[in-house]
Amino acid sequence: MRKLSIIITALTFILGYVNADEPLSVKTMNLKIKTVNENNNIFRVQTVKWWYAENQKIKNRLECETDLCAEWEIKEHVSGSIVIRANTSIVQENDPYCWDLYGGEVIIMMPIQKVTIVMKYQNTVCS
């Protein structure tokens, strides 16, 4: 029995040493986020934030290359349950001092690759 234990220990050491030079690869899956209206048409928004469901204090803001985007992406490794919230405001055509506010939110369990947020009218504010 002692010989078997020594052989197993030696094999474990040799196999570990042989594979030590190989890099450990972790596959990162980017999450693609799309914002649409209630008719499933593209709806460009100003901000998208995400956070872990159990920690609402730390919110991550996603970047967009223009002022408004309908497609966003989380490029970092994320696991567990997360909340994604999108917001935008649209100046009313007949009153430049009033904005219609739209928002949408999803709660998902990672890992997934795509999610769609449906934007809904929330309120109007005027200055």
DSSP characters over the chain: -HHHHHHHHHHHHHHHHHTTTSPP--PPPPEEEEEE-TTS-B--BSEEEEEETT-TTS-EEPP-SSS-BSEEEE-S---SEEEEEEEEEEE-SS-TTEEEEEEEEEEEESS-SEEEEE-EEEEEEE-
pLDDT digit string, tens, across residues 20-59: 444 444 455 699 999 999 999 999 999 999 999 999 999 9
Residue 121 within a domain? yes
Total domains in the fold of the chain: 1
127: confidence class by pLDDT, cuts 50, 70, 90: very high
Residue 16 within a domain? no
Residue 111 within a domain? yes
Range of the domain at 118: 26-126
Mean pLDDT of the chain: 85
2: confidence class by pLDDT, cuts 50, 70, 90: low
Residue 41 within a domain? yes
Please report the pLDDT score of residue 27 as a whole number: 52
Residue 47 within a domain? yes
Residue 83 within a domain? yes
Domain CATH number, residue 40: 2.60.40
